[in-house]
Structure formats: C-alpha cells, structure tokens
Structure 1
Amino acid sequence: MRILENVISDRGSKYAVSGGPCQSEDEAKAFIKELCRKKKFAKATHHSWGLLTADGALKNDDGEAGAGMVILRMLERAGVTDHLVVVTRWYGGKHLGGDRFRHVQDAVRIYLDAP
C-alpha cells in the first residue's frame, strides 16, 4: 500500500491518493478498510476508486459523483491494470464545482508519476 498525503488543497478541501496491487472488488474493499484503520482516513468524506482487471473495469464514487470514472480513464490511458487507485477527499465546507474533477485527475497523475 502506497499513500501520498496532502497532494492537493483547495478551499479547505484536502486530497490524498493511495493504491496498491488489486485484482477484485473484494480486494478493493479490503484495501479501503485497511486504509480507514488510519484515524485520519477514517474521517475522510470520500474514498473514490478505480480498478482495471482482466474481468473488466470497477469503480466506486463514494458520493463524489463521477470521480470513479475519472480515475478509470486515467488508468486506461496509462495502461495500468490490477492496481487499485484511491483518491481520498476531506470536504472543506465549500463546493468546488468542476474543479473537483481536475483535482481527482491531478491526484491520480501525481500517484502514477511518483517513483
């Protein structure tokens, strides 16, 4: 499990991105559960994720409508399979509108570009 915290901050909302090897929805749910064992992540507003497997594409917006699809598109473009990417958001009290999609995209890019 790789976690990159505080990658983006905008109008009080904060973002983190994490990921690791994963091959099924059950493994993805176990990953989120493990992530939420960290008190900070348990208090997050959203854990949106995407995963490409041999069986197809899986995603979960976790209340952040459209975020899972943004993550899937990024994984498809990068050719990343069997690797879960989770974008976590702590809501800061102000709506971000369309900027939230840019932040999800930027968070995934940061994760994919990290050594």
Structure 2
Amino acid sequence: MTQIQRMGVVLTDRGSKYAVSGAPVRSRDEVDAVLRDLKSDKAYAKATHNTWAAILPTGALKADDGETGAGMVILRMLERAGVQDHLVIVTRWYGGKKLGGDRFRRVQDATRAYLDDLGVVS
C-alpha cells in the first residue's frame, strides 16, 4: 500500500478548513486505494469535500466530490508543475459561510503547499 502524505489543515477561511494529502500512484486502482485509506480516518470521511486529481500514464483523472470545478484546479496545477503519477487530494470541511470564487484560491493555496512540500516549483 502506498503511504499517504497528510499535511493536515494548511489554511482556514471564514470557518472552512482545508487540508491537503497525496501519494504516488500509477493506476486508477491505486487512486481508489489511497482515497479509501484517507477516508478510513473519520475526520476525512466526514469532510464536506475530498477533491482530487492525478495525471497517470493512462491519462488525467479528477473528481470534484461536490465542490464543482475544484478537481480541474488541482489538475491544472499538476499539469503546470509537470507532476505525474501522483495523487493530490484537497479536503474541505465547510465552515458555514459560502466562499464564492475564493474557494478556488483556497484549493490552489492548498495544492501549492503540497507541491512546495514535494519540492516542486509550481
């Protein structure tokens, strides 16, 4: 099983909390296994959204998990950074106030924190 790197909560905005996690993956089965492992933690299972993206040898995959457009934000950042075979998951716990367009900036901020931690120039 691939080891998940969990950075935990990296930022908050108007009550919403954002965490970022990820792991090396090479297939859809590995993506699903990492997501299952992450959600085995009750806090992540109860999160409002676990959005993610990965660029695999078979192509790009992404999921919004109810946060429309967030998967594409992560995917574009992975493409720009040239990161392949790696799953990045941005988790949001909704804080009660809508963020509007700022929610995309928070997804970008969380993804950037993960890429920075990987040592990737984003």
Same structural fold, with TM-score higher than 0.5 when normalized by the shorter chain: yes
Runs of 4+ off more than 4 Å: none
Which residue matches 1:47? 50
- The question of 1:14 aligning with 2:24 is answered no
Tell me, in whole angstroms, the C-alpha distance in 1 between the residues paired with 2:116 and 2:71.
19
TM-score (norm 1): 0.96
Greater shift, 31-40 or 12-21, is seen at 31-40
Which residue matches 1:66? 69
Aligned to 1:114, the other structure's residue is in SS state helix
Tell me, in whole angstroms, the C-alpha distance in 1 between the residues paired with 2:90 and 2:109.
10
Aligned to 1:51, the other structure's residue is in SS state strand
Matching of residues 1-115 of structure 1 within 5 Å = 1-114=4-117
Identity %: 64
**Aligned-CA RMSD value:** 0.9
Unaligned 5+ residue runs, structure 1? none
TM-score (norm 2): 0.91
Unaligned 5+ residue runs, structure 2? none
| Counterpart code for 2:88 | V
How many matched pairs?
115
Q: CA deviation at 1:38?
A: 1.0
Q: CA deviation at 1:40?
A: 1.1
